[in-house]
Amino acid sequence: MTGRLETPFPEAWAASKAVLAVASPPLSTAEAAELMLRYYATAGKATRLTGERDDNFRIDGRDGARLVLKVAHHQEDRLVTNLHTSLLLYLAVTTPAIPTPRVLATKDGLSEHQLTNGHNAGRVARVTSYLYGRPLHSVSPSASLRREVGATLARLDQGLRHFTHGAADRILIWDLQWAHHLKELIPVIPDRNARQTLLRHVDSFATVVSPQLTTLRSQMIHNDFNSGNILIDPYRRVVSGILDFGDAVRAPLILDVAVAASYHITSDVDPTAAAIDLVVGYHQIEALLREELTIFFDLVLMRLIFRIVITEWRASLFPADRPYIVRNLVSTWAQFNSLQAVSHSVVVADLMRRCGVI
C-alpha cells in the first residue's frame, strides 16, 4: 500500500486516543474461525487472546498448525494497519534471523484482508505464524538474560534502520515525543499530590528533554519491548519471539532502549542495576552515544509516567474493566517512586561507566 498520512496534528492526536478510548464491535470466536476458513483455507478452533485495542485470536488448525489472527481496531487508519504488516514482511526478508511473526497470505495471495460484511465491515485482518516460548516475565531473571534481551533489541533496531513507510511518522499516544500532550490526561489521576508530581515532571521534560530529542538519530522502532512482548526459550535462555509491533513508530533510537529498560526498574537498593544490564547488552551490539545516555533515565521516568497516566485514563473510560486495566499500576508506581528517588547524576555516571562511554 502506498500513500502518506497527512492528517493535521489535532485530528491525528484525537484519532490516536480514539483507538484506546472506544472499543470495536467484538468479533466472535465463531466469526474468527469462519474468516480463517473462508479467506485462508484454514479450518480450526479460534481462542481469544488479550489485546489493548485489536481483536486477537489463536487459531489451532485441524492440521496441527497454530496461527494468530489479528483484526485491527475499526478506527485505526488503513495505512497504519499496513505499516505493521509491511514492517513484518520487511524483517522476514532483510533480517530473517530475528524471531518475528511471519505473515501468512490469503487464498488470493494478499497479506491483508479487509472485512466487507456486517458490523465489522472495513476492519482489516492479518494472519501470522505463532511463536513459541515463555513470556519474559515468567522466566527467572538474570543479568545475562537481560543483556540477551538488550542485544536482541539492538539487532531488531539494526534491522529496522532503513525501513520506510507512509505511516512511519504517525501520531501515537504512546510516543514519548508527545509527552507535553499527556498533561490533558493527568486530571484523571485521583490523588492531588500525585497529579502535581506528574505535572511537574511532564513540564520539566517538555522544557529540558524534548528539545534534545529533535537532535538525536531517529528511525523506525518497536516502541513496546515489554516483558509480555518478548518470548524466551527457557532451555537455551535466548529470545525466541518478538511480538506486537502495534506501537511501532519513527522516533529517536534511544526511546526504544528506554521503553524496554523501564520494565526492569526495581525497588531494590539500586533500582537501576537491572535496567542497565539491558542497556549494556544493547550497547555491545549497537553503540549508544553520550548525548543519548545523558537523557536516558529522563526517558525511562517519562515512560513510567505514560504507563501510569494512560492506564488511569483507560480505567476511567472502562470502569467495568478497571481491575484488569490497572493490574500492574501498583508496581508501576513503585518503579516510578524508586527511580525518582535516586540521584540523576549518579545514575548517569554509572550508566556511562558500565557502557564504557568516557
Share of the chain above pLDDT 90, in %: 87
Give the global pTM.
0.94
The predicted model gives 142-166 an average pLDDT of: 97
Closest CA to 188 of 15, 10, 38, 308: 308
The predicted model gives 105-126 an average pLDDT of: 93
Q: How far is residue 115 from each of residues 16, 34, 120, 231, measured CA to CA in Å?
A: 22, 12, 7, 30
**7, pLDDT greater than 80:** no
Please tell me the distance from the alpha carbon of residue 180 to that of residue 213, in angstroms, as a whole number.
Answer: 13
| 3-class secondary-structure state, position 82 | helix
The predicted model gives 39-49 an average pLDDT of: 96
Per-residue confidence at 253, pLDDT binned at 50, 70, 90?
very high
Task: Decide whether 9-17+25-130 matches 135-355 in CATH topology.
Answer: no
The predicted model gives 256-282 an average pLDDT of: 95
Please tell me the distance from the alpha carbon of residue 358 to that of residue 348, in angstroms, as a whole number.
Answer: 12
**6, pLDDT greater than 80:** no
**9, pLDDT greater than 90:** no
Question: Any bridge partners for residue 233, and if so which?
Answer: 238
**3, pLDDT greater than 70:** no
Residue 252: predicted pLDDT: 98
Question: Rg for the chain (alpha carbons), in Å?
Answer: 20
Alpha helices in 6-57 (DSSP H): 9-21, 29-40
**104, pLDDT greater than 70:** yes
Per-residue confidence at 117, pLDDT binned at 50, 70, 90?
confident
Contact assessment for residue 20 and residue 51, using Cβ atoms and an 8 Å cutoff: no
Q: Does the domain spanning 135-355 belong to CATH 3.90.1200.10?
A: yes
The predicted model gives 72-93 an average pLDDT of: 96
Torsion of CA 333, 328, 191, 274, to 10 degrees: 10
**Span 118-134, pLDDT tens digits:** 888 999 999 999 999 99
Domain boundaries of the chain, sorted by first residue:
9-17+25-130, 135-355
Residue 268: predicted pLDDT: 82
Residue 4: predicted pLDDT: 61
Contact assessment for residue 248 and residue 220, using Cβ atoms and an 8 Å cutoff: yes
End-to-end CA distance of the chain: 45
H/E stretch holding 281: helix 273-285
Please tell me the distance from the alpha carbon of residue 136 to that of residue 138, in angstroms, as a whole number.
Answer: 5
Residue 264: predicted pLDDT: 97
Per-residue confidence at 24, pLDDT binned at 50, 70, 90?
confident
Residue 1: predicted pLDDT: 65
Residue 19: predicted pLDDT: 87
**Span 199-240, pLDDT tens digits:** 999 999 999 999 999 999 999 999 999 999 999 999 999 999
Share of the chain above pLDDT 70, in %: 98
Please tell me the distance from the alpha carbon of residue 261 to that of residue 174, in angstroms, as a whole number.
Answer: 15
Please tell me the distance from the alpha carbon of residue 77 to that of residue 208, in angstroms, as a whole number.
Answer: 33
The predicted model gives 60-73 an average pLDDT of: 95
Cell numbers given for 343: 540521584
Closest CA to 247 of 303, 202, 295: 303
Q: How far is residue 297 from each of residues 212, 214, 244, 252, 294, measured CA to CA in Å?
A: 14, 17, 24, 14, 8
The predicted model gives 249-262 an average pLDDT of: 98
H/E stretch holding 341: none
CATH code, residues 9-17+25-130: 3.30.200.20
